[in-house]
Amino acid sequence: MSKLSHTTSKGKANMVDVGDKPQQIRIAKAIGIIYLQAATLQLIHENLIKKGDVLTIAEIAGIQAAKQTPQLIPLCHTLMLTKVEVKCTLIESGVQAESMVKCIGQTGVEMEALTAVSVALLTIYDMCKAVDKTMVIGDVTLMSKEKKDVI
């Protein structure tokens, strides 16, 4: 296993200096699921959840969350995000949230992509908690990350 970059030689927290790294196009994608009862899925499908349009509100919450990641995760750098997409889709067992986050910068956007998915799923939980007491959020995973030189 490689050495952790966010700790000093004495094990103290450390924000990594990325100042000498080149500007690159950075893209990260994440995915996650909230498992719901069939009746809850039907209410979402028919837009009958009292708090409103669950999927659209969750997508917007995920976008907002990606932009707030440095305020939530202490050692994350503030990045100028150039694109955030969050898509929530009804699936047989619940709702799947997917995110894609992009920036041109000196460090990656993995945490922003994971935060977007996590908050989208938490928003669904909040909106559906009155009708479903068995919801489970899980399988939040970084699907891919890439970097390429700016041309």
Distance from C-alpha of 54 to C-alpha of 137, rounded to nearest angstrom: 15
Instruction: Note whether 69 and 112 are within 8 A (CB).
Output: yes
Q: How far apart are CA 136 and CA 22, in angstroms?
A: 40
Please tell me which residue in 17, 53, 126, 149 is annotated as part of the active site: 126
Concerning whether 126 is annotated as a catalytic residue, the answer is yes
Which residue, among 43, 34, 24, has the nearest Cα to 102 in the 3D structure?
24
Q: What residue has token string 């799947």?
A: 96
> Which residues are marked as active site?
126
